[in-house]
Amino acid sequence: MNADAPKPSAAADAKKTADPTQTHLVVALKHARPLTAVRFDPKLQYVFTGAEDNTVQRWKLADAQALAAGAKGADGKPLEVKPTLFEGHDSWVRAIGFSPDGKTLYTGGYDGQVITWDATADKPKPIRKFDAHNNQWVRAIVVSADGKQLATCGNDNLVKLWNAADGKLIREFKGHESHVYNVAFHPDGKSLASCDLKANFKHWEIATGKCVRDFKAEALHKYDTGFRADIGGARALAFSRDGKLLAAGGITNVTNAFAGIGNPAVAELDWESGKLKVLHVGKEAVNGVIWGLEQHVDGYWLGIAGSRGKGSNVYFWKPEAAQEFFKFNVPDVGRDMSLAADGVQFAVAHADGNLRIYRMEKKA
């Protein structure tokens, strides 16, 4: 879910003043229903969320900042910030991507549809809508660095490459034997990586559609013999900025699949060999799964772990260290996260319906 390219930006590279140990909540914006996804747009005008009501919500960052600064409405009460709704899906949306200029929004839903939108429209309407995965869940959308192509994956066990301009299918990547949970563009633009429910990874050559190699992150999959079901997969997937590492967020040490008893983990794989370099886990063994994952321009990974009943933690891991160097507890279960291009803010989509925006710097 959290693999939308492009990751690096001039803004992000310019600013490296973030200090995770100073992380604090800036503002909480409430939607009527539990949230499922979140992304900052590349130009930092908006934050987009998905929710359990099948809509996508656009929140103006300027409004959020005004509310955080104590702005009042005409009635003297705190400013009421309402999102603009993007209505067009017939099921939940957990996949959100943008064109590099932030003008075009792509959303993928559990209705199998990919919809193209004018991200800035006052009254947004679908520009284009197509059945991307045979009427089955679209689990992830990523946009190529040049903005010309979209890659999607879903419950039809396929990865697909689309022309962003007209929504035409360019190529299908066949080979996974279970639901494909995530996909990411390699920074070199020549390869895709995908991961399925059973934590089987595939390295695809974009130009030919050929599967170059297969590898597996055993730690992120389990067949629970008691429940007779598989649990696992990359709930979040991201390449490191230099393309040398592929990080997959999920759940490990599962002892009870149907109660989600297992620990959040990020499998950091060496891209060249496909072998596990580091399995990032928490110092304290809490139950949960990594739902969102980003690499900061300073090199460390941020991962949001949804943990039932105990709120959630945002973990900060250095690439070489298995355990976090810092952990920030957020007040409710986090289901996705997005790191802003300024490298200082991150947003979390919470199960309690709140979009919460945090800053990694000393509180003003």
Residues lying near another protein in the complex (CB under 8 A) are found at: 33-34, 52-54, 90-92, 110-111, 137, 155, 179, 224-231, 256-260, 306, 308, 332-333, 351-352
Asked if omega into 6 is within 30° of 0 (cis), the reply is yes
Name the residue nearer to another protein (CB basis): 134 or 163: 134
Smallest gap from Cβ 91 to another protein, in A, equals 4
Taking the complex as a whole, how short is the minimal distance between the CB of residue 107 and another protein, in angstroms? 14
Task: Considering the complex, state which of residue 63 and residue 111 has its C-beta at the smaller distance from another protein.
Answer: 111
Among 354, 349, 277, CA closest to 93? 349
Identity of the residue, 55 or 116, whose beta carbon is nearer to another protein in the bound complex: 55
Which residues does 108 contact at the CB level (< 8 Å), separation at least 6? 93, 94, 95, 96, 114, 115, 132, 138, 139, 140, 141, 152, 154
Task: Report DSSP state, residue 281.
Answer: B
- Angle among Cα 305, 310, 312 to the nearest 5 degrees reads 25
| Rounded least distance, CB 103 to another protein, Å | 28
Q: What angle do CA 99, 101, 103 make, to 5 degrees?
A: 70
Contacts of 15 (CB under 8 A, 6+ apart): 297, 342, 343, 344
Beta carbon nearer to another protein, 111 or 268: 111
Which is closer to another protein, CB of 257 or CB of 339?
257
Q: How far is the CB of 109 from another protein (least distance, A)?
A: 8
Residue 287 C-beta: closest distance to another protein, Å: 9
In the complex with another protein, the residue whose CB is nearer, 174 or 310, is 310
Could you tell me which residues come within 8 angstroms of residue 130 by beta carbon, excluding any fewer than 6 positions away?
Answer: 113, 114, 167
Residue 21, C-beta contacts closer than 8 angstroms, at least 6 positions apart: 326
Q: Residue 44 Cβ, how far from another protein at the closest point, in Å?
A: 29
